[in-house]
Structure 1
């Protein structure tokens, strides 16, 4: 069991499970509220949950121990996350969760492209084949035919 908690694959699968629940819960949650306000409520919940986890596990760090470069990229990441959530909740309000979520997961394809382009990561031919299949699958599931 300890090995599973140290495995990035286990955490990635858990992330996918929680992301799936996020789509279902959010679709129901945005039925009778403005999507931006729903995003605001969700953000407050996340702040409280993370604060509780950090407190319970004694993982708070001194803010002065964090470099300005780290702050810059965390702020940029937070801004991108906020923009993503606003767009995602609006899409869920307007469309079916079963179609919105796969299109949202085109982010997997974009991460591969951005990772190779900006982070100089390397993907094999079979990796690129998987990326192409993800893109194709997301478009096919998102297509209302």
Structure 2
């Protein structure tokens, strides 16, 4: 079941690139990121309230808070740089390079989370890195 959500994530990430490229034409990318963030905020909290999940906020630990906040900072900075890259480059260049994050996540998961590095994961990461270098150069 996880792979269905992952494929939907990929589909909407692809649509994000297309919609963003059209939407940022002649717009300051920081303003565009701010607008996008408000929309995401409304959707995310709407889902929380729809599923009645808001009560779980009292059970969050200090570690939960710290790392969720750090994740938010990382996401925000990713979006700021992504929108700027989209404004300067073509979607067919920027979107694939952005997906270098997949290979980086594999590497960082091994280093920081102690997840096993299988030959399939290593080969996939190497191919992504290689493909990214082809697109850049």
* CA distances 1:36-95 after superposition (whole Å, capped 9, x unpaired): 010000000001111222222222124321101100000000000001000000000100
Is the 1:35–1:90 contact (alpha carbons within 8 Å) kept by the matching residues of 2?
yes
**Hey, what does 1:42 align to over in structure 2?**
36
8 Å contact kept, 1:39–1:86: yes
Taking only aligned residues, the RMSD between alpha carbons, in angstroms, comes to 1.2
The aligned length equals 137
TM-score, length-normalised on structure 1? Answer: 0.89
Structure 2 gaps of 5+ residues are none
CA distance in 1, matches of 2:51, 2:80: 30
Alignment of 1:91-110 (within 5 A): 91-110=85-104
Which ranges of structure 1 fall in alignment gaps of 5 or more residues?
1-6
Residue 136 of structure 1 and its aligned partner are, at CA, apart by: 1.2
Asked if 1:78 is matched to 2:55, the reply is no
Cα offset for 1:25?
0.5
Secondary structure of 1:33 counterpart: coil
